[in-house]
Amino acid sequence: MVHHGPPKKDDDTPMPASISLENRDSLQVTASDKFRLDPGIGGARLTLDLAIDRVAIQPAEGEEPTPADQVRLRVAASLFVSVRVPQQDRLYVCELEAAHLITAVEKTYGFQMHGFVRDDQLRIIDELRAGCDFWLTVAIRVSYVDKTPSRLFQAGADLSIGVESGIWLRRLADARRGGFFEVFVPLDGGTDYANAEQELEKAKAELLGNNINAALLAARKALETVRKAWKTANIVRNVKRREAADQDPRPELKRTVPERFAFFAEDLFAGLSGALHKEEGTKGYEYSRAQAVTLIASTSGLVAQLAEERRLS
């Protein structure tokens, strides 16, 4: 996937969204790229700073203008994220609401919109953007009651905000998500590792119930998929044979990257097996929750690596 940084105007201000009202007036809505993420349970509260300005049209002959202070707008929005072009690949994130009704007057009026973004959504956004800039698209909806005669009027427009990678990373740091780390394993690149993903889900569920042995068993089953796909046992056996005949005092330094990951996968499998089989070196030892997390997270990383290879192949 090729990522393109979001284009900006010369003054780095996002282009405004224009919303036409029933009396031909229009609303110009602009946004700052200085959004905020505040920590919450299971995610972060997103705050966007926006400004609204009413552009009045001279009423036609015989028409009575609607005073601005008589129009109270309810402003809501759907938030989308895009890594290429906002109108082509946007993915839904959450709903946004203004904290109060907005009075649209003929001068700039600032207001805020709030929404909640889950931790898993933040991680997926990070995976999709792959370290690059991206877009936030705010699909704004305004509604109000027209009193002459009384009826509900609704209209909307899209507002796209370019988000630079550095700004995004600082906002994530503000949300203080560093207490936990999960590995994102996408399933759009193939099906040969789908069972591994299911086993990792079992491992996570068992760990939540503090069933450490059951969690490690599920992780070992997931790792079997990686070992089979990469033929790690054969690679390790052949490398050891080659190094046994090498006169170099440190032949392991000549291992290629795939060979090093094969050794890592086999060592990880041995660690999982030792926890379950109570081998000679692990008899009478009970693995702690932190040690189980280490083994399961390492397995997740290898499954994610296999998934990436399938997507790129």
Predicted TM-score (pTM) of this structure: 0.60
Most confident region among 23-27, 128-132, 158-162, 238-242 by mean pLDDT: 238-242
* Mean of per-residue pLDDT scores for the chain: 82
Name residues whose C-beta falls within 8 Å of residue 249's C-beta, 6 or more positions apart in sequence.
none
Q: What's the pLDDT tens digit per position in 104-155?
A: 666 677 889 999 999 889 888 888 888 889 999 999 998 877 766 677 788 8
For the chain, the structural domain boundaries read 17-174, 194-312
Q: Residue range 9-24: average pLDDT?
A: 67
pLDDT at residue number 276: 78
Residue 192 structure tokens: 């040969």
pLDDT score at 93? 95
Confidence of residue 214 (pLDDT cuts 50, 70, 90): very high
Three-state SS for 133? coil
Q: What is the pLDDT of residue 145?
A: 75
- Over 80: is that where the pLDDT of 217 sits? yes
Residue-wise pLDDT for 257-298, tens only, equals 999 999 999 999 999 988 777 667 777 788 888 899 999 999
Are the C-beta atoms of residues 102 and 112 closer than 8 Å to each other? no
Please confirm whether the linkage preceding 149 is cis (ω < 30° from 0).
yes
What pLDDT was estimated at residue 236? Answer: 97
pLDDT at 96 over 90: yes
pLDDT for 182 equals: 61
The beta strands (E) that lie in 33-132 are given as: 36-40, 43-55, 72-82, 91-98, 102-103, 109-118
pLDDT tens digits for range 60-82:
665 665 555 567 788 899 999 99
Is the pLDDT score of 86 beyond 80? no
Yes or no: say if 216 and 287 are a contact pair by the CB < 8 Å rule: yes
| Confidence at residue 11, expressed as pLDDT on a 0 to 100 scale | 46
8 A C-beta contact, residue 137 and residue 158: yes
Q: Does residue 189 carry a pLDDT above 70?
A: no
Evaluate whether 218 touches 206 at the Cβ level (below 8 Å): yes
Between residues 193 and 95, which one has the greater pLDDT? 95
Orientation angle between helical segments 165-174 and 119-129, nearest 10 degrees: 160
The architecture (CATH level 2) of 17-174 comes to: Sandwich (2.60)
